[in-house]
Amino acid sequence: DTAVSQTPKYLVTQMGNDKSIKCEQNLGHDTMYWYKQDSKKFLKIMFSYNNKELIINETVPNRFSPKSPDKAHLNLHINSLELGDSAVYFCASSQRGQTYEQYFGPGTRLTVT
Amino acid sequence: KNEVEQSPQNLTAQEGEFITINCSYSVGISALHWLQQHPGGGIVSLFMLSSGKKKHGRLIATINIQEKHSSLHITASHPRDSAVYICAVRGGGTSYGKLTFGQGTILTVHP
């Protein structure tokens, strides 16, 4: 039973398009994250939500908009895609007040052509 | 300079060798994580520690808070240990579990 799932796993699209990546966790956690992994495998946090409230918002272009309809879901919408957005995007979840151990989704490989 | 630095960046070993990966950080932290990313891409949390030492099977992680340094050791390495190992630190206070990552160490273990 998958703990943190993401869809789609692969996404190939053209510059200028708008796309969304979905993330769901069934661990009962109250905090979810989006990370971007670049071509050199370097991970960097983008956003975090706690109980549907945005709590971390790093320096990310405003073309990226996260949305959390409930605490089990955190989606990432990207407008006007650019070549530099090509990366692997990971969703993760954790529970505040405990260990903050994070559980990662399988990643979504986004390729912008 | 990154807040979290790992060494070496690339490591090649023969099966059975003892392996050490190092992580140094320059900020105050509440915990340090070691993560493993296999060639298939998935990321798995190996350890989370804030002091001392933890052991899980052939893997041992240590941290020295005063020296701001952690090490990940693999005893009796095996080709299936080949992966990218990533050190990440969690800030204290109101950081809400935000992780800052090292650049990763690519480990290849040959049979």
Beta-carbon separation of A106 and B101 below 8 A: no
Which residue among A94, A106, A107 sits closest to B97, beta carbon to beta carbon? A94
pLDDT of residue B96: 65
pLDDT of residue A1: 64
| Closest to B108 (Cα-Cα) out of B74, B78, B87, B76 | B78
pLDDT of residue B33: 94
- The answer to whether A63 contacts chain B (CB < 8 Å) is no
**Neighbour count for residue B94 (Cβ, 10 Å):** 8
- The answer to whether B43 contacts chain A (CB < 8 Å) is yes
Give yes or no for residue B70 having a pLDDT over 60: yes
Model confidence pLDDT, tens digit, residues A34-75: 999 998 889 999 998 888 888 888 878 899 999 999 989 999
DSSP A33-57: EEEEE-TT--EEEEEEEETTEEEEE
pLDDT of residue B46: 94
B5 Cα to chain A: minimum distance (Å): 12
Model confidence pLDDT, tens digit, residues B94-105: 666 788 999 999
Dist CA B109 CA B111 (whole Å):
7
Beta-carbon separation of B101 and A44 below 8 A: yes
Q: Which residues in chain B have their CB less than 8 angstroms from residue A60's CB?
A: none
- The answer to whether A14 contacts chain B (CB < 8 Å) is no
